[in-house]
Amino acid sequence: MTDQRLADTLPDGVVVTDGDGVVTLVSSLAARMLGTDPDDARGRPLPEVVRLQGQAADWATHNRPFEGLRTRTGVPEQSWLLPDGTEVLVAARLHRAERLGPVTSMAITLRSGRGRARLDRERSDLVATVAHELRSPLTGVKGFVQALINRWDKLNDDQKLLMLQTVNADSDRLSRLIAELLDVARIDTGRLQLYPRPADAGALVSRVVDSVAAGTATEIRLEQDADLPPVMVDPDKFVQVVTNLVENAVRHGDGVVRVSVTRQPVPAVPGPADGPPGVQVTVADEGEGIARELRRRVFTKFWTSTGGGSGLGLYIVNGLVRAHRGTVTVDDAPGGGALLTSTWPGVPAELG
């Protein structure tokens, strides 16, 4: 494979020069970014090819890659603007034929700044979401604590108890938000730790339903198969997922919430990669449901159907289920509303 063809296969644009700053190679992607032709660019001075804006001088004049200390090995990534105004991230690697000798060649990479812009937007969204979600409970905690301090002798026991209960609820809300943020960080960075072991899915789901039902007037009906196989899950994460799904159904539903735990259907055409039978947990509500065109966004960060909440719950659900090699989907419930289905792996034969 020639140098040109190799450069054209790289995900970033590449410009290569000799030790005199004369361009010797331009990848097709870099040529498109710079508005030039790879053949026309070869043999021309670097400033004529890499025409970037954003500083008082062009990239080469601003960074002076062929000057300075002989220990210099590169130019760190910087943000510049292409001739059409698009942001591009530019870095360079300096090559020397001899240690501490003069620069004999340089490779410059150009990478679209759209990815960084997207990450910046996500960080901004996260900061805005966190600030909004923290403000309300913190305001409540601050206000009630201040009232208790300033008016302790004037408040009766019932009033004090109500204030303390509110502070306690707001503190729980803050703790849940912090836990969600930690889960998001672990999922995004691949540092989520699971401790899977054989577990009784029916018993875990029943415990979740009893817990959620104790705090709501909404009727929650649980149905489960009698011969459920054990599942290979981290029980804490499993409970976290099911709790989130049931609480969402209670919050957004209008009538009865139906939870079912069934044996996972056997594939119509079994394959060699099929594992032991697992279980399927479905949660259905009688609310407005989720429009088909929005379902692909349900499991993304900051998605909410009403504009309330952190919008991180279903993103975490998806991350936890996928970490177990399961799936989670959204569909229409038989009687209207949303139907969320999660699948969980069975216990391998050697552990059964």
- The CA distances from residue 56 to 18, 59, 84, in Å, are 25, 9, 17
DSSP 200-246: -HHHHHHHHHHHHHTT-SS-EEEEE-TTPPPEEE-HHHHHHHHHHHH
Residue 55: both structure tokens together: 């500083």
pLDDT range class, residue 189, cuts 50, 70, 90: confident
Measured CA distances, 168 to 84, 131, 171, 174 (Å): 55, 20, 5, 10
- In one-letter notation, the amino acid at residue 87 is E
Interacting residues of 286 by C-beta distance below 8 A, sequence separation 6+: 253, 254, 255, 256, 257, 333, 335, 336, 337
Which CATH number characterizes residue 322's domain? 3.30.565.10
Identify whether residues 90 and 140 lie together within a single domain.
no
- Least reliable range by pLDDT among 141-150, 236-245, 308-317: 308-317
pLDDT in tens, 120-154: 676 676 677 677 767 778 888 888 899 999 999 99
pLDDT digits (tens, 9 = 90+) for 201-210: 999 999 999 9
Asked if residue 240 and residue 321 are part of one domain, the reply reads yes
pLDDT of residue 305: 60
Same domain for 260 and 339, yes or no, is yes
Q: Which of 10-19, 113-122, 274-283 has the highest mean pLDDT?
A: 10-19
Mean pLDDT along residues 63-89? 88
**In the block, which residue shows the tokens 């499993």?**
238
Residue ending a domain, among 172, 189, 206, is 189
pLDDT band at 268 (very low <50, low <70, confident <90, very high): very low
Phi/psi of residue 290, nearest 5 degrees: -125, 125
Which of 169, 189, 209 terminates a domain? The answer is: 189
In the chain, the number of structural domains is 3
Question: Which residues span the domain enclosing 84?
Answer: 3-112
What CATH code is carried by the domain that includes residue 81? Answer: 3.30.450.20
pLDDT of residue 270: 46
With 90 as the cut, is the pLDDT of residue 57 above it? Answer: no
Give the pLDDT confidence score for residue 172 in this predicted structure: 83
Q: Rounded to 5 degrees, what are φ and ψ at 143?
A: -65, -45
In the prediction, which pLDDT does 269 show?
Answer: 41
Q: What percent of the chain has pLDDT over 70?
A: 88
pLDDT surpasses 90 at 272 = no
- Kindly state the percentage of the chain with pLDDT values over 90: 43
> CATH no. for residue 131?
1.10.287.130
Q: Tell whether 172 and 133 lie within a shared domain.
A: yes
If you compute the radius of gyration of the chain from its CA atoms, what whole number of angstroms results? 29
- Once rounded to an integer, what is the mean pLDDT over residues 323-345? 88
Would residue 139 count as lying in a domain? yes
Q: What pLDDT does residue 271 have?
A: 43
Comparing 39 with 290, which gets the higher pLDDT?
A: 39
Q: CA-CA distance, 277 to 348, in Å (whole number)?
A: 9
